[in-house]
Amino acid sequence: MSVAKVIEVTSTSNKSFEDAIQTGISRAAKTLDNVEGAWIKEQKVQIKDGKITGYRVNMMVTFVIAD
């Protein structure tokens, strides 16, 4: 039997939502062991002068707690 914990991570990219997701998961995996999944809770765009300047995601990252 395993026990998991969920944390919320916010990540931003100037390229795409996919890049923001990958950046957030890669960063979380540097400090967390056993990252197993993520739920993308929210996606937002940042806009300046009528143009998209950034992509932001809020995600719930799940990792299994070591014994």
What is the model's pLDDT at position 61?
Answer: 97
CA distances for 64 relative to 5, 34, 40, 45, 54, angstroms? 6, 5, 18, 31, 31
CA atoms within 13 A on the CB side of 9: 27
- Kindly report the pTM of this predicted structure: 0.88
Contact 18, 58 (CB under 8 A): no
8-65 confidence digits (pLDDT tens): 999 999 999 999 999 999 999 999 999 999 999 999 999 999 999 999 999 999 999 9
CA–CA distance from 15 to each of 4, 26, 39, 47 (Å)?
A: 31, 16, 20, 13
